Chain A
Amino acid sequence: MTSNQNILVKLNQAGFRLKNKWLVKGVSLQIEKGKIVTLIGPNGSGKTTTAKIALGIYKKIDGEVEKFTNKVGYVPQKISIDWTLPLRVKDFMVLTENLKDEDINEALSLTGVIQLKNKNLGDLSGGEFQRVLIARAISKKPNLLVLDEPVQGVDFTGEIALYKLIKKITDELNCGILLISHDLHTVMSATDHVVCLNGHVCCSGSPMDVAKNNEYKALFGEQASQILSRYEHRHDHIHTNEGEIKKN
């Protein structure tokens, strides 16, 4: 890998331990400008933990983390907001950074929730809230986007549109993305680097390399491996609405 100014975050043998239980151990990865790194792995494999290590939320960690940017947009997997706060969508948009009104409008329009701008955050549905979360993260034009299952609860067509949007934003802003997703289909087509976790790094590389890896197959099964490997010749098939892959 190249070591240059393009690196935004670098984890070196990073791990995090809660009491005596390792949540994740020995993770090395780096996120570069304009690149998408995806974390995959079963539940409890340490994906979210790895993201939090990269973000600097966990401080007492093993190994090293180097963060070269502070302009970060984060879409957490779970967010509990206390409704003792009177908080509208537009207040939430400027939570960590002051933005111009047109930037707020632009981001909310991109994720399709501009009409909710003056609504109370507590009145949104799960999918709407998720779109607001994504809008907030991209509106500050970050150098690094960390998206932890960003499209959970979003309807199917919205899901695809949002992934396209995420890809487009990476290109436009030339920002690096750390993505966590269970949706192997949608994600892999745009990913530059895949890290497969299972408490440790089970394998990593390009989507193709990972798909061929035996440990990956053992973890996700033969079928998942086929999903990934098809992306090598992804011009000869289409995706149906059911998420199936049809050959042309």
Chain B
Amino acid sequence: MLDDFFIRALIAGLGIAIVTGPLGCFVIWRRLSYFGDTLAHSALLGVTLAYTLEFNIAFSVFIISSLIALILIQLQKRTNLPGDALLGLLAHSSLAVGLVVIGFLTFIRFDIMGLLFGDILAVTVDDLLIVWIGGPLILLILKLIWKPLFASTVNYELAEAEGLNPDRAKAIFTILMAGIIAISIKMVGLLLITGMLIIPAAMARNISSSPQGMVVYSILGGLLSVILGLFTSLEFNTSSGPSIIAASLFLFILSLLNIKQSIKLKN
């Protein structure tokens, strides 16, 4: 069954959606969408590193993304530049450096489009293993840090005062973000990973009234987007990443209808 590239893509995609659902909620709540983008851009550097040193792609992307997150934290401490400027600086410079390095690697044939937008043909059985071992691991860790992370998202000082150690939770969350980008880059592509994180969660925000509800809807939305997106991609021979994201946009628009109705009800 796993011989079929499409089944492989579907299994990988569903595995990713289960993880991006809850992480995406935190990305929205904590206003980290541009942070996610920065990590994703830096993934290109990770990919080139993987090819150069013949490393596993997911592993080297994870290392580079974590490194970029660390550099960001240091820059925030040492400069007076605003956060978004630092994020922009890191995102585009790491993307640029990654592309320059690719230029030097003339002996390797790069599928740039696949890197940027995801490629279902590229998903191997090894990738499936990475998604289905890494994904549940990310979810497990997220569950363990849920309380301090969520409390400090609502109010940092309350969490700190009542002994929850929010700084540690935040650091772990950053690593989890690097993790999800590492395992999903092949499927969704580095330009669209943030979309996979944000759009299902945004859809979920429109139709949920509690944090747990939003997480559940966000996962469901992601799963549905993967299924819809991949079938479209198979049918019309489009890239997998954009098809999945377009499907999630479609769900988001549907969720807006729900808001319209509830506003009508209120009036």
Contact = CB atoms under 8 A, between A and B. Distances in A.
Given A72-B162, A82-B153, A96-B147, 9 more contacts: A55-B157, A56-B160, A56-B163, A57-B157, A72-B161, A79-B155, A81-B155, A87-B210, A91-B210
B157 A76 contact: yes
Given A95-B150, A95-B158, A86 B210 contact: yes
Interface string A205-231: 000000000000000000000000000
Interface in B169-218: 205, 208-214
A86 B214 contact: yes
A59 to B, nearest CB: 9
18 contacts: A52-B157, A71-B163, A72-B163, A74-B158, A76-B155, A82-B153, A82-B154, A84-B29, A84-B205, A85-B211, A86-B214, A87-B154, A91-B210, A91-B211, A92-B154, A95-B151, A96-B147, A146-B161
B155 A86 contact: no
Contacts of A72: 161-163
Given A72-B163, A95-B151, A96-B164, A84 B158 contact: no
Interface residues of B, number: 25
Interface in B141-169: 147, 150-151, 153-155, 157-164
A87 B158 CA distance: 16
Top 3 closest A-B pairs, CB basis?
Answer: A70-B163, A55-B161, A74-B161
Nearest to A76: B157
Contacts of B147: 96
B92 interface: no
Interface of A is mostly: loop
Interface string A49-86: 00010011100000000000011111010011110111
Contacts of A140: 162
Contact of B208 (A74, A79, A86, A92): A86
Contacts of A76: 155, 157-158, 161
A33 interface: no
A84 B162 contact: no
A129 B157 CA distance: 17
Chain B binding site: helix, strand, loop or mixed by DSSP? Answer: helix
B205 A86 contact: yes
B28 interface: yes
A96 B160 contact: no
Task: Report the contact-size class of chain A (Cβ under 8 Å from the partner).
Answer: 20 to 34
A120 interface: yes
A96 to B, nearest CB: 4
Nearest to A55: B161
Given A87-B154, A88-B209, A95-B151, A82 B29 contact: yes
Nearest to B206: A86
Contacts of B163: 56, 70-72
A56 B161 contact: yes
Contact of A85 (B153, B160, B161): B153
Nearest to B157: A57
Given A79-B155, A84-B205, A96 B162 contact: yes
Nearest to B214: A86
Contact of A87 (B28, B164, B211): B211
A230 B151 CA distance: 43
Contacts of B214: 86
A9 to B, nearest CB: 11
B161 A88 contact: no
Contacts of B162: 70, 72-74, 96-97, 140
Contacts of B208: 86
Nearest to B207: A86
B218 to A, nearest CB: 11
Most chain-A CB neighbours within 10 Å: which of B151, B153, B163? B163
A206 B188 CA distance: 66
A14 to B, nearest CB: 16
Interface in B1-52: 28-29, 31
A40 B209 CA distance: 40
Contacts of B150: 95
A120 B164 CA distance: 24
Interface in A76-122: 76, 79-82, 84-88, 91-92, 95-97, 120
A101 to B, nearest CB: 15
A50 B29 CA distance: 30
Contact of B209 (A79, A86, A96): A86
A13 to B, nearest CB: 21
B80 to A, nearest CB: 12
Contacts of B28: 84
